C-alpha cells in the first residue's frame, strides 16, 4: 500500500472554517502520516505556532501556490515534532515550549529559545502561567567539537548599530567551522499584549513588530482580520496599501545598500543610497504623516487618506529617485566592492527550499516564490517576480535593484489612478478565523488570528527571519570570521519580528 499523500490526509480530515484557507484538524495518527508524507512532498514549512489546546502549522506548496493550514491537539502536553522532516521547525518548537509549554515529542533540540529565565512568569501564554525559576538559565551551547577549535561569542551588544542577537561561532583559524544563533533578547511579549484586544487596537503592536516591515506586517495582519470577519477594505484603501507596501520595499532595499556600503567601506554607495532613502522618507512623511509609514495600514483600510498634495509629492520624489538609480547600480559594480560581494554568503537553492527562505534571499537563489503572487489585488498590475540563480550577494543585489525599478512602475501607475471613495470600513465585532499574507522587504509575512466577538482570542505573526536565521547558520559555516557583519547585512537578518 502506498503511504497517504498530503492531499488524501487533508481530504479525510475535519476542516475548520478559516478564510481564505480552511484549517484541517488532524488527530495524532494523521499528523504522523503528514510528517511521513512530508519526507517525499515538497511543501515548505512557513510557520508553526500554538494556542492553549492545539499546535498549528502553515505549509506552502510552491508551484501551485497551495497554502495548507493544519492543526493537531495537544495530548498529555505533547505533539509529534515536525523538525525531523522540516529543520525550519526547530526554533518554532523551542518557542512553543517557552510560551505555551507544549512539548514537541522526539524533537532533537529542547533548549529554551525565548525564555532566558528573566521573566517574572514561565509559560506566559499557557492557561496557568507558572512563577519564575529561581536560577536564571544562561543560554547553553553544545561544546566545541574537535581540537584546535576556538569559541567566539558575539553579541547581544555587537557591531555598530545592529539588533540584539547572540552568535556563537566555532572557529578553526579564521574560518568559521560552525555557527549557532541564540535569539530572544528582543522578546517583548507581543502575543500576550494582543490577546483580548480588537484588531484595530492590536495593530499598534503589529506595526512595531519589525521596523523594516512595518507596512508589510500591518498589511498581512489587516488582511487576516478582514478575512476572519468576511469584510473587505474599500478599493481606495487597497490601492493605497499596495502603494505603501512598494514604498516600504524601495526604502528598505535602499537602506540595505546604505548599510552594505557602510560595512564594506564603499562610501559612494553609502552616500547615494542613504541620500535617496532620506528623500523617500521625507516624501512619505509629507504624504502620509510618518517617515517609516507606521500605523498607516490598519484592519479595515488605512488610518487616513493621502495628503491633498501627496500624489504630487510622491511623484516628485520618484522623479528625483529615478535619476539616482544608474549611479546606484554603477556603485554596486565598482570593482573593489563588486569583488567583495561576489560569492559572499552563497545560498544554494536546495538550502533555500529546505528552510522555506523566501524574499530576496530565496529569489536570489532561484526560488521564485513571492507572496504578491497570492495577492488578487495585484491582478490589475503587470508584475513579475525577479529571480537570479547564483545565490550570492551580487545576485541578491540585482534582485533588489530590479524590484526597486518594478516598485517605481507599480507606484507610478497606482498614484495616477487612485479610486475615489472611503479609505476604511468599520470592522464588525464578529467571530472567525483568518490568514493573511504580504510580501515584505525581507520575505513573505503571514498572519493568522482567531477573533471571538471582535476580540483576538489567539494570533501568530510569521516574520521572514524564522527562515533566515537558520539559513544564516548554514551560510556562516565555512565563511571567514571577518565577514560575519556583512553576511548579517546581506541576508537581511533582523530579530524583532522573530522574537515576538
Answer yes or no whether residue 8 interacts with other proteins by CB under 8 A. Answer: no
Answer yes or no whether residue 258 interacts with other proteins by CB under 8 A. Answer: yes
How many whole angstroms separate alpha carbon 296 and alpha carbon 311?
16
Answer yes or no whether residue 152 interacts with other proteins by CB under 8 A. Answer: no
Shortest distance in whole angstroms from residue 161 CB to other proteins: 5
Q: Which helix (H) or strand (E) holds 395?
A: helix 393-416
Answer yes or no whether residue 289 interacts with other proteins by CB under 8 A. Answer: no
Angle between helices 214-228 and 199-207 in degrees, nearest 10: 160
376-395 residues near other proteins, rule: CB under 8 A: none
Sole window of 41-49, 285-293, 298-306, 356-364 interacting with other proteins (rule: CB under 8 A): 285-293
Answer yes or no whether residue 186 interacts with other proteins by CB under 8 A. Answer: yes
Could you say which of 20, 235, 327, 454 contacts other proteins (CB under 8 A)?
327
Shortest distance in whole angstroms from residue 486 CB to other proteins: 15
Bridge-based pairing of strands 78-80 and 103-105 is parallel
DSSP-derived secondary structure for 221-266: HHHHHHHHTT----HHHHHHHHHHHHHHHHHHHHHHHHHHHHHHT-
Whether the ω angle into residue 20 lies within 30 degrees of 0, i.e. cis, is yes
Answer yes or no whether residue 499 interacts with other proteins by CB under 8 A. Answer: yes
Could you say which of 63, 146, 308, 326 contacts other proteins (CB under 8 A)?
326
How many whole angstroms separate alpha carbon 364 and alpha carbon 359?
8
Applying CB under 8 A, the site for other proteins has a residue count of 66
How does 442-478 read in b/e, with b if 16+ C-beta sit within 10 Å? bbbbbbbbbbeeebbebbbbbbbbbbbbbbbbbbbee
Could you say which of 36, 65, 111, 118 contacts other proteins (CB under 8 A)?
118
Q: State residue 45 phi and psi, 5-degree precision.
A: -85, 120
Could you say which of 187, 253, 396, 400 contacts other proteins (CB under 8 A)?
187
Could you say which of 93, 163, 370, 433 contacts other proteins (CB under 8 A)?
163
Answer yes or no whether residue 195 interacts with other proteins by CB under 8 A. Answer: no
Q: Report whether 472 contacts 327 (CB < 8 A).
A: no
Answer yes or no whether residue 331 interacts with other proteins by CB under 8 A. Answer: yes
Q: Report whether 10 contacts 24 (CB < 8 A).
A: yes
How many whole angstroms separate alpha carbon 378 and alpha carbon 176?
43
Beta carbon nearer to other proteins, 258 or 297:
258
**Site of interaction with other proteins (CB under 8 A):** 114, 116, 118-121, 124, 156-157, 159-164, 184-190, 192-193, 204-205, 208-212, 214, 255, 258-259, 262, 268, 270-279, 281-282, 285, 291-292, 294, 317, 320, 323-324, 326-327, 330-331, 334, 494, 496-497, 499
Amino acid at each position: 500500500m502506498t503511504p497517504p499523500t498530503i492531499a488524501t490526509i487533508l481530504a479525510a480530515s475535519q476542516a475548520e472554517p478559516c478564510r481564505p484557507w480552511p484549517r484541517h484538524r488532524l488527530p495524532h495518527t494523521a499528523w504522523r502520516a503528514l510528517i511521513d508524507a512530508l519526507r517525499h512532498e515538497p511543501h515548505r514549512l512557513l510557520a508553526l505556532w500554538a494556542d492553549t489546546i492545539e499546535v498549528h502549522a502553515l505549509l506552502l506548496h510552491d508551484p501551485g501556490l497551495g497554502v495548507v493550514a493544519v492543526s493537531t491537539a495537544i495530548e498529555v502536553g505533547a505533539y509529534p515534532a515536525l523538525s525531523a522532516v522540516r529543520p525550519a521547525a526547530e526554533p518554532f518548537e523551542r518557542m512553543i515550549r517557552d510560551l505555551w509549554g507544549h512539548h514537541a515529542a522526539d524533537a532533537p533540540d529542547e533548549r529554551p529559545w525565548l525564555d532566558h529565565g528573566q521573566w517574572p512568569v514561565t509559560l506566559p501564554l499557557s492557561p496557568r502561567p507558572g512563577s519564575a525559576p529561581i536560577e536564571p538559565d544562561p543560554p547553553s551551547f553544545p561544546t566545541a567539537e574537535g581540537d584546535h577549535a576556538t569559541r567566539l561569542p558575539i553579541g547581544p551588544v555587537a557591531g555598530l548599530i545592529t539588533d540584539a542577537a547572540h552568535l556563537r561561532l566555532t572557529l578553526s583559524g579564521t574560518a568559521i567551522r560552525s555557527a549557532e544563533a541564540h535569539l530572544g533578547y528582543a522578546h517583548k511579549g507581543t502575543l500576550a499584549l494582543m490577546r483580548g484586544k480588537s484588531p484595530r487596537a492590536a495593530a499598534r503592536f503589529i506595526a512595531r513588530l519589525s521596523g523594516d516591515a512595518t507596512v508589510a506586517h500591518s498589511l498581512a495582519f489587516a488582511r487576516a482580520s478582514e478575512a476572519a470577519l468576511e469584510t473587505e477594505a474599500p478599493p481606495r484603501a487597497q490601492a493605497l496599501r499596495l502603494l505603501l507596501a512598494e514604498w516600504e520595499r524601495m526604502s528598505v532595499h535602499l537602506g540595505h545598500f546604505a548599510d552594505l556600503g557602510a560595512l564594506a567601506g564603499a562610501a559612494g554607495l553609502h552616500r547615494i543610497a542613504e541620500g535617496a532613502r532620506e528623500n523617500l522618507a521625507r516624501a512619505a512623511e509629507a504624504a502620509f504623516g510618518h517617515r517609516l509609514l507606521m500605523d498607516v495600514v490598519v484592519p479595515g483600510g488605512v488610518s487616513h487618506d493621502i495628503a491633498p498634495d501627496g500624489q504630487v509629492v510622491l511623484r516628485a520624489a520618484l522623479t528625483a529617485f529615478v535619476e539616482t538609480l544608474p549611479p546606484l547600480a554603477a556603485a554596486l559594480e565598482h570593482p573593489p566592492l563588486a569583488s567583495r560581494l561576489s560569492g559572499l554568503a552563497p545560498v544554494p537553492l536546495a538550502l533555500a527550499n529546505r528552510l522555506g527562505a523566501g524574499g530576496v534571499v530565496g529569489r536570489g537563489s532561484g526560488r521564485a516564490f513571492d507572496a504578491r503572487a497570492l495577492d488578487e489585488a495585484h491582478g490589475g498590475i503587470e508584475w513579475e517576480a525577479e529571480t537570479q540563480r547564483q545565490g550570492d550577494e551580487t545576485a541578491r543585489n540585482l534582485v533588489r535593484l530590479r524590484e526597486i525599478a518594478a516598485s517605481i512602475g507599480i507606484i507610478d501607475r497606482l498614484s495616477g489612478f487612485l479610486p475615489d471613495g472611503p479609505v476604511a470600513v468599520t470592522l464588525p465585532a464578529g467571530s472567525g478565523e483568518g490568514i493573511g499574507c504580504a510580501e515584505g522587504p525581507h520575505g513573505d509575512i503571514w498572519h493568522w488570528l482567531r477573533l471571538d466577538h471582535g476580540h483576538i482570542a489567539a494570533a501568530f505573526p510569521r516574520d521572514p527571519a524564522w527562515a533566515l536565521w537558520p539559513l544564516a547558520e548554514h551560510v556562516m559555516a565555512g565563511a571567514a570570521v571577518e565577514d560575519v557583519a556583512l553576511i548579517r547585512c546581506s541576508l537581511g537578518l533582523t530579530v524583532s519580528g522573530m522574537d515576538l
